[in-house]
Amino acid sequence: MPGPTPKAGPTAPPDVVHLLSFDVEEYFQVQAAAKRLPPQRWGDWPLRLAAPVDRILDLLAEGSVTATFFVLGWVARHERAVVRRIADAGHEIACHGMTHRMIGGLSRDEFAAEVREARGLLEDIAGRAVIGHRAPTFSITRETAWALDALAEAGFAYDASVFPIRHDRYGVPGAPPGPHRAVGPGGGDILEIPPLTVRLLGADRPAGGGGYLRLLPVGLIGRALRSAQRQGRPGMIYLHPWELDPDQPVLPMSPTARWRHRVGLKKTESKLRYLLDRFRFTAVAGRLDELRALAGQTYTYG
């Protein structure tokens, strides 16, 4: 059951349209469980993606909201009907890689092959071109910036993998917090759309979703969205369907990782409702021309 509804707060001006996205993967595919649950063991765990995805689709339909769903290729292969329901509901299907391996564990050829395979599966199901990409665990960093070159070469219109923060597993501190032209070390040029951040204590702090949305007061997320609006840019929110499934099995993780994974699961739905009630959201694909126009800054990675 969802947690208590957060207290009402100020709404955004009526002309705001932010970006809403979901990383579509099973609960047992998270990076925090990767060492103890390699792909060979995924078959030992029950599939639970269908129910939370259907709940998300219902919530979005209530508000006539479209979103971008970054779908794992593994999901496209094993849970095709789930992906078909997302596409049939009119949402954008984008690529989340094939096996949820962080890019630092792949060679450029392996990365290109994974993206190509996943994209092909998704386009076959959706019946339309897949133009967006998000790396598992936001794993495009300065060390893996060659992936931007590979994505530009493959013809992707945009990427949403760079988190402009400092973190123990990912992040590019100092990268622009809004849409910008990202240039890889080989000269590849692609539109980059980072997750939402908020400026606190002299640094950009994560506020875009996932564990941050579950842990932080939802009013702070609203503050970050309004701050982005004042700066003339949309904010990108992201969630995972498993975050709306508080009854999921407990995974074999360290105590810290388990806390990160499960904290606030019962409140995810009410927080998502809070944001949907107070802000306007849409998918990336329908806003590409506007986002390109906003991306006046060029940032070179690598």
Which domains, from first to last, does the chain contain? 24-300 (3.20.20.370)
Residue-level pLDDT at 16:
66
Residues near 86 by beta carbon (within 8 Å), at least 6 away in sequence: 24, 53, 57, 69, 71, 93
Q: What average pLDDT score do residues 156-180 get?
A: 89
Counting residues of the chain whose pLDDT is more than 70, the rounded percentage is 94
Average model confidence (pLDDT) for the chain?
A: 92
When mean pLDDT is compared across 30-34, 165-169, 286-290, the lowest value belongs to: 165-169
8 pLDDT higher than 60: no
Residues near 146 by beta carbon (within 8 Å), at least 6 away in sequence: 108, 184, 185, 186, 302
DSSP tag of 99: S
Nearest 5°: the CA angle 120, 126, 128 is: 80
Residue-level pLDDT at 202:
77
pLDDT, tens only, 261-273: 999 999 999 999 9
Helix (H, G, I), strand (E, B) or coil at 12: coil
Q: What average pLDDT score do residues 276-282 get?
A: 96
Q: What average pLDDT score do residues 49-75 get?
A: 98
pLDDT, tens only, 91-122: 999 999 999 999 999 999 999 999 999 999 99
When mean pLDDT is compared across 143-152, 179-188, 199-208, 270-279, the lowest value belongs to: 199-208
pLDDT, tens only, 143-165: 999 999 999 999 999 999 999 98
Structure tokens at 138: 């936001």
pTM here? 0.93
